[in-house]
Structure 1
Amino acid sequence: MNRSLAIKLGAIALLILLLLIPLLMIGGVISDRQQLRDGVLDDIARSSSYSQQLSGPLLVVPYRKTVRIWKLNGKTNERYQESSEETGRLYFLPERFELNGNVSTELRARGIYEARLFHAENRISGHFMLPERLGIKQDFADYQFEQPYLAVGISDIRGIENALQLELGTQRLDFVPGSQVGWLGEGVHVTLPALDASKVTELPFAFDLRLQGTGQLQVTPVGKTSQVKLAANWPHPSFIGNYLPAQREITAEGFNAQWQTSFFSTNLQEALDNCVAFARCEAFKGRSFGVSFIDPVDQYLKSDRAIKYALLFIVLTFAGFFLFEVLKNLAVHSVQYALVGVALAFFYLLLLSLSEHLGFALAYLLSASACVSLIGFYVCHVLRSVTHGLGFSAGLAALYGLLYGLLSAEDYALLMGSLLLFGLLGVFMVLTRRLDWYGVGKTSKTQVAA
C-alpha cells in the first residue's frame, strides 16, 4: 500500500471516530427526551391513578382465643390454672374465583406527550367453602369468633369508579374503604353476617368493579380454581406476570384473553400461610398475571435502535465515496467526507424530533427523504456527475429502506443485517477485483475542490 492511500484511509478512520461524538450526543438527547416523557406520564398517573393490581377477595374471620396454662404453686405444691386471651385472624381463599372484564382505553395528553388510561368494567364472582369448625381441630370451645368480613386489595383505590356492593345470596352489602389487612395494601372491605362455625358453610359472592388505571392491569388468581377473561380495544397487548393466557385472540380492533389456574399451579395457599405466619408476602403478591396497555415499542425505543446502526451507515457511505475515488480516479477531500457524515448524523436528530409529533413511520420517511436529497444534491457536485450523484443517492435510499426493515423485523434483525453486510462485501470485492491497489493515489485524473 502506498503512502497516499494509507494517509487517506487513516483520515477516513479518524473522521469516523470523530463522528461518534455527535452520535453519542444525539443518543443522550434520546435518553433525556425519554426520561422527560416518562416523568410526564408518571405525573398524569399521579393525578389520575397508577397501574392496578387486584388481590382478593379474601374471607377474614377475627377471633379471640382463651389460652389456659397450668402452673404449680411453689409453697403448697398445688396446681392452679391461669387463663389469658389472644386475638388473631383466620384467612380463607375462595373455592372458585371468576373475573370477566371489558376494558376500554383512552389517551390523556399533556403537551406533546400522551398517556394511555384504561377503564375496566369487571364482574367478579365465586364462592367460599368454609370447613366445619373453620378448620380448627382442637380446643374449638375456647374460640370466640367476631364479625367476619370480605377484603379486596386494590393497589390504587383512586381508580374505583362505582359504588361497590356485594351480592351475598339475596343480600346486598356495601363495601367501605380500606382492606383492613395490612399486607394486602389499599383496598376495600365489607362486613358479613355472623357465621355458624359448627358446620360446613358455602358463601357465594359477586360484585361489579369499575376500575381506572394507567399502564397495567394485574389480577391475583386467589381461587382454588380461577378463571379470568379480559377483552379490550387495545391491539398491542403485552401479557405480563407469572402466567400466560390459556387462550387469546388479537386483532386490529383489540384482544380477548382467558387465563385458567388452580391451586396446583399457583400454590397460593402456602404463599398465604407464609404471609400470615412469617410476614413473607412477596410470593403471594407476585403470583399474578395481567396485561400492559403501554406501547411496547415507542418512538424513543425505535430511535435508539436506529442510532445503533449509525456507525454502519457512515462506514458504508464512506466506502461508497472511496469506491468512486479509486474506480473513477477522483479526489474527494476529507472535509467533503465530514460534511456527508454530519448530514448522516443529523438524520437521527430529525427522526427523533419529528417522531414526537408525526409518528415514527412518517418521521422516518421525511427524515430519510431530507437526508437523501441533501446528500444527493451535494454528491452530484462533488463527483461532477449527475448520474453518479443519483446512483449514490439511490444506494443511500436503499440503505435507509433496509434499516427500516431491520427496525420493523426485530426477530430477524441479526439475519437481515448479516446478509446485508455479506452482500455489500461481495459488491465491493466484485467492483475492485481488477483494481491495482499499488497504483491507487499515485495519479489523479480529476481533482475535486474541497
Structure 2
Amino acid sequence: MNRSLALKLGAIALLILLLLIPLLMISGMIDDRQQLRDGVLEDIARSSSYSQQLSGPVMVVPYRKVVRTWKHNEKTNARYQETSLERGRLYFLPERFELDAKVQTELRARGIYEARLFHADNRISGHFSIPQQLGIDEDFADYTFDSPYLAVGISDIRGIENALQLELDGQRLDFVPGTQEEWLGEGVHVTLAPLDVRKANELSFAFDLRLQGTGQLQVTPVGRASNVTVSANWPHPSFIGNYLPAQRAISAEGFTANWQTSFFSTNLEEALSNCVARGSCDEFKSRSFGVSFIDPVDQYLKSERAIKYALLFIVLTFAGFFLFEVLKSLAVHPVQYALVGVALAFFYLLLLSLSEHIGFALAYLLSASACVLLIGFYVCHVLRSAVHGLSFSAGLAALYGLLYGLLSAEDYALLMGSLLLFGLLGVFMVLTRRLDWYGLSHSKSTKPVKLDVEGMGHE
C-alpha cells in the first residue's frame, strides 16, 4: 500500500522520537557507571591517601609581650599603670625555597576499576633570613620569646612514607606530627633551638619527604624566591594551579616541569598576614601550583560525548534509507527503519560495556564493526541488492570513523562536525537536485517491501 510523502516523513520522525527513549536509558547508565567508578576511586583514596598539597616550611616564633596601660583613678585623681600579658606568634617565610620531586605512579585496582596513585620523593631545601630583633621596632625589652619551630602543612599526613628529619646547619632534628597552626591544617613541625634575637640569623634547612597521594600533587611556593622541579614517569600530566611551569618537557617516558616564582608574583607575605590577622586563609592556600596525574582516556567521558551524536547518526542513517527509497523506487517499511535504529542504539551499549574491560579505542572498533556488519547484512536483504547494501555499509563505517575523529580531536570537534554536516547536506542536495518532490508523493512506481519471518524483501 502506497503512502504519501508527508505520512512517510511523519512516521520516520515518530520513530526517531521513540528511539530517544533507549538512548536516554543508555545515557543514564553511563552516568550510573561513572558514579560507581568515582565511588570506588574515592574509596581507594580513602584507604590510602587523597590528593596532596605541601605548604611550608614556615618558621613560627611564639612570644609573650608585656602590655602597659596608663589609667586614671577618679577618686584620687591619680594616674596608675596596669600591666597585662599578651601572647602571639611571629611568622617568617623562607628567603629561598627549593623542591625537587621525583614521582613514580602505580595502579591500584578494585574489581574492574583502577586508581592511579603516586609516590613522590621530595628533597626540600632553602634558608631563612631572620632580621635583627625579629623585625620588631617598638620597645623590644617588653618581649619574651619561646623556642621557635618549623611547620610544614601536608594535606593528608597518611601519605608520609618516611621518618622525617630536618637538617639545620649541621644538626639533625626529628619532626613530630601536627603543625601547631590551625590555619596551616595537617602536617608536621620540629622545634628549634632558641634564636639569638639581638642579631640577624641565617638558617639553612633541608629534609627529605617521601609522600604518597592520589590524583594531584600541589605545592605552595613559600619562598621569597621559589624553585620547584617535578619529574615523573607519567606521560600525560595536567598542570594545575595559579602558575604554569616556566619550562616543561613531555615524552612517552614521562615529563619534567620547573616552576620559578618570587614574592612579586605570589604576594605571599601579604596573603599570610591576612590569613593570620583576619583568619581568612583561602587566598594563601590558593597560591599554589602542581600537576594532576589524570588518565586522558576516560571511557565514560568519551562514551557520554559519543552518545550526544546518536541522534545525528540515526537521522543520517534514516536519510540514507530515504534516499534509496526515492532514487531507486523502493519502499522501506517503518519496522525496518526501527530495527536499524535499535541496532544503532545498541552500539552505545556495546561501547560502554566493552570499554570497561578492553579500553575505549578497541571497544569502539569492535562495537562499530559489529553494528556495521549487522546492519550491512540486514540492509542487503532490505534493499534486495548486495551492491546497495555494501554501499550503505561503507557509508555507515565512514560515519563511525568520523565520529571517532570527533571524539579524539576535542579542540576541533565543532569545526569537524560543521564540515561533516555541510558536506552531507551538499551530497543530499546533489543527489536529489532533479527529483520531482510533488510527483513523488503521488507516484505509483515505488515497490513496497513486505517482511517475511526471515526479514527478506518480496514484491
Question: Aligning the two structures, in what range does the TM-score lie when normalised by the shorter sequence?
Answer: over 0.9
Deviations along 1:306-364, whole A, 9 cap, x unmatched? 01111110000000000000000001010110110010011001001000000000000
2:202 equivalent in structure 1: 202
Alignment match, 2:447 = 446
Quick one: distance in 1 between partners of 2:265 and 2:296?
28
Q: Distance in 2 between matches of 1:416 and 1:30?
A: 25
1:88-167 → structure 2 map (5 Å cutoff): 88-167=88-167
SS state of the match for residue 447, structure 2? coil
What are the equivalent positions in structure 2 for 1:180-191 lying under 5 Å apart?
Answer: 180-191=180-191
Q: Structure 1: where are the runs of 5+ without partners?
A: none
Equivalent residues of 2:297, 2:360 under 8 A apart? no
Runs (4+) off by over 6 Å? none
SS in 2 for 1:118: strand
1:150, distance to aligned residue in structure 2 (A) = 0.1
2:79 pairs with 1:79: yes
**1:416 CA displacement:** 0.8
Secondary structure at 1:197 match in 2: coil
Residue equivalent to 1:284:
284
Q: Quote the residue 2:337 is aligned against.
A: 337
Q: Is the 8 A contact 1:331 1:444 kept in 2?
A: no
Q: What letter corresponds to residue 188 of structure 2 in structure 1? A: V
**Partners in 1 of 2:444 and 2:187 — Cα distance?**
83
Distance in 1 (CA, whole Å) between partners of 2:172 and 2:446 is 96
Deviation of 1:446 (Å): 2.5
Give the Cα separation in 2 of the matches to 1:262 and 1:118: 28
Distance in 2 (alpha carbons) for counterparts of 1:142 and 1:357: 70
> 2:213 matched to which residue of 1?
213
- C-alpha separation in 2, matches of 1:346 and 1:54: 47
Give CA deviations for 1:38-77 in whole Å, capped at 9, x if unaligned. 0000000000000000000000000011111112222222
Distance 1:246 1:170 in 2: 33
Deviation track 1:396-447 (CA, whole Å, cap 9, x = no partner) reads 0000000001111111111111111111111111111111112224223422
- 2:427 partner amino acid: V
TM-score (ref. length: structure 1): 0.99
Q: Which runs of 5+ in 2 are unaligned?
A: 452-459
TM-score between the two structures when normalised by the length of structure 2: 0.97
Structure 1 CA distance, aligned partners of 2:342 and 2:295? 32
The answer to whether 1:34 aligns with 2:37 is: no
Alignment of 1:394-413 (within 5 A): 394-413=394-413
Matches within 5 A, 1:414-425: 414-425=414-425
1:374 matches 2:370: no
The worse-fitting range, judged by mean Cα deviation, of 287-296 and 257-266 is 287-296
2:252 is matched with which residue? 252
3-state SS of 2:400 partner: helix
SS in 2 for 1:440: helix
* Distance in 2 (alpha carbons) for counterparts of 1:44 and 1:445: 63
Shift of 1:297: 4.3
Give CA deviations for 1:187-225 in whole Å, capped at 9, x if unaligned: 000000110111111111000000000000000000011
Cα drift, residue 305 of structure 1: 0.7
Which amino acid in structure 2 is aligned with residue 69 of structure 1?
T
Letter in 2 for 1:33: R
Q: Where does residue 326 of structure 1 map in the other structure?
A: 326
Q: Which segment is superposed worse, 332-341 or 428-437?
A: 428-437
Partner in structure 1 of residue 308 of structure 2: 308
3-state SS of paired residue (1:21): helix
What is the alpha-carbon root mean square deviation over aligned residues? Answer: 1.0
| CA distance in 1 between partners of 2:376 and 2:399 (Å) | 14
SS at match of 2:406: helix
Aligned length: 449
Q: Which residue of 2 aligns with 1:348?
A: 348
Return the offset for 1:3.
Answer: 7.1
Name the residue aligned to 1:168: 168
Structure 2 Cα separation of the partners of residues 396 and 236 of structure 1: 33
- Structure 1 partner of 2:263: 263
Taking the aligned partners of 1:392 and 1:414, their CA distance within structure 2 comes to 25
3-state SS of 1:105 partner? strand
- The question of whether the paired residues in 1 share the 8 Å contact of 2:125 and 2:207 is answered with yes
Q: Distance in 2 between matches of 1:305 and 1:198?
A: 66
The aligned counterpart of 2:222 is 222
Residue 81 of structure 1: how far off its partner (Å)? 1.2
Determine if contact 1:179/1:185 at 8 Å carries over to the other structure: yes
Indicate if the aligned counterparts of 1:238 and 1:296 stay in contact, CA closer than 8 A.
Answer: no
The 2-side partners of 1:391 and 1:55 are apart by 63
Give distance in 2, aligned partners of 1:167 and 1:444.
Answer: 94
Quote the sequence identity (%): 83
